[in-house]
Amino acid sequence: MTEPHPFAQYVRILGRGKSFQRGFTEEEAEASMGMILDDQVEPEQLGAFLMLLRVKEETPEEVAGFVRAAKSRFTLPDPMPSIDLDWSSYAGKRRQLPWFLLSALVLAANGVRIFMHGTEGHTPGRVYTRETLEALGLPVAQSLTEAASQIDQSNFAYLPLAVLSPRFHAIIELRPLLGLRSPVHTVARMLNPFDAPYLLQGVFHPGYNLIHQGAAALLGQPHMAVFRGEGGEIERRASKPCEVFNLHDGVLTTVVWPPLLDDSVQPHDEEMSLERLAGVWAGTVQDDYADAAITGTLAIALHQLGRAADPASAQVLAEEMWQARDRDRLAA
């Protein structure tokens, strides 16, 4: 009789039917993801594992275990850079340009050290962070060491997931084959390889707010904010109220931020021309929605970083920072 494959136990836990199926403990999640990252599973097992998790939906315990497995396999630079804020970017934009990038650049210009990571191209018709940075003439790091150097120079770096975790990138690229996103989309957002004390998250499906918040608490993350962002990115939907799920030193809270614009209809940019990003930064293009999305996102970050006591004062400070930006920075 053929012995069961060592990974079969994890597929069995997820797939034993309504009466016996259950989620993983943190330890089981870490062990199973460790086998996946070490290429110790068969393709059929990986597909079953990902889709059974997708149907069940991942739990905070599972996400925490998966993240631990990934982080234990990073080769980090020595010495480690000091990072203030980890900013993930995995969704891409299709209705609005990635205004959040301008929010991050304003923060960096005001001394906040930001590490951004993400992926691109897994969903057709979306604009991703890497192509946006390249269109703006900004560098894309090719290693964690290079990212650390860029942060030392300009307080900002972006590293593609394909470099940070090639195995996770390959799994995300399975989306056209499987027809669905996999739990890796959730896990990759939480990687925070440089252990930044502050973490921002944007989700598309509201239920994932609690998953990210709970996983961050289990991972011992000091500070985190997660909210439903435009297109699933860390970007304020300026026409909508925004419920932000916070974590500060183990305390979980929620804060509802009021809409910034009177129009409750979320606008749709039909052109999605990246040239407009530089134009809005330079002030040669006027766009009330862009200004609100940029400053609204910036305000949430400032509040999370402890630079403002409440949403109203955070928004005032964000608008002041936006007005004081160096408008020639993106002239190239």
Does 132 share its domain with 248? yes
| Element at 108 (helix H, strand E) | helix 100-109
For the chain, the domain total comes to 2
Instruction: Tell me how far apart the alpha carbons of residues 104 and 102 are, in angstroms, rounded to a whole number.
Output: 5
- Looking at the domain assignment, is residue 195 inside a domain? yes
Among 22, 46, 71, where does a domain finish?
71
Residues 247/185/104/221 CA torsion (nearest 10 deg):
30
One domain, residues 49 and 95: no
Q: Which residues pair with 273 in a beta bridge?
A: none
Q: Is residue 153 domain-shared with residue 299, that is, in the same domain?
A: yes
H/E run at residue 54: helix 43-56
17-26, 125-134, 305-314: lowest mean pLDDT where?
17-26
Q: Coil, helix or strand for 256?
A: strand
Q: Is residue 328 part of a domain?
A: no
pLDDT on residue 331: 53
Determine the Cα angle at 219 with ends 202 and 190, to 5°: 30
Q: Say yes or no: 89 and 216 in one domain.
A: yes
Query: Rounded to whole angstroms, how far apart are CA atoms 261 and 288?
Result: 9
Does residue 332 lie within any of the structural domains?
no
Q: 45 and 89: one domain?
A: no
pLDDT tens digit sequence for 49-107:
999 999 999 999 999 999 999 999 999 999 899 999 999 999 999 999 999 999 999 99
**Domain assignment of residue 258, given as a range:** 85-323
Give the helix ranges, DSSP H, for 124-207.
129-135, 144-154, 161-164, 166-172, 175-178, 184-189
Are 54 and 158 members of one domain?
Answer: no
Its pTM stands at: 0.95
In a domain? residue 77:
no
Angle at 132 between CA 129 and CA 133, to 5 degrees: 85
> Angle 265-294-188 (CA atoms, 0-180°, nearest 5)?
95
Residue 126 falls inside a structural domain: yes
| CA nearest neighbour of 232 among 96, 327, 140, 133 | 96
Q: Do 59 and 103 fall within a single domain?
A: no
Rounded to 5 degrees, φ, ψ at 227 are -155, 165
CATH code, 34: 1.20.970.10
Query: Which residue did the predictor score with more confidence, 17 or 166?
Result: 166
d(CA 306, CA 215) in angstroms, rounded, equals: 22
Q: Are residues 136 and 270 in the same domain?
A: yes
Domain assignment of residue 1, yes or no: no
DSSP 3-state percent helix, strand, coil across the chain (nearest 5): 45, 15, 45
Name the region of 137 (left: φ>0; alpha: ψ -120 to 50; beta: rest).
Answer: left
The pLDDT tens digits for 166-213 are 999 999 999 888 888 889 999 999 999 999 999 999 999 888 999 999
| Same-domain status, 139 and 183 | yes
Segments of the chain assigned E as strands: 85-89, 114-118, 156-160, 198-203, 223-228, 242-248, 251-257
40/63 same-domain check? yes
Which of 122, 162, 170, 123 has its CA nearest to residue 140?
A: 162
pLDDT, position 27: 98
> Does the residue 236 lie in any domain?
yes
CA terminus-to-terminus distance, the chain = 67
Same domain, 95 and 59: no
d(CA 46, CA 65): 17
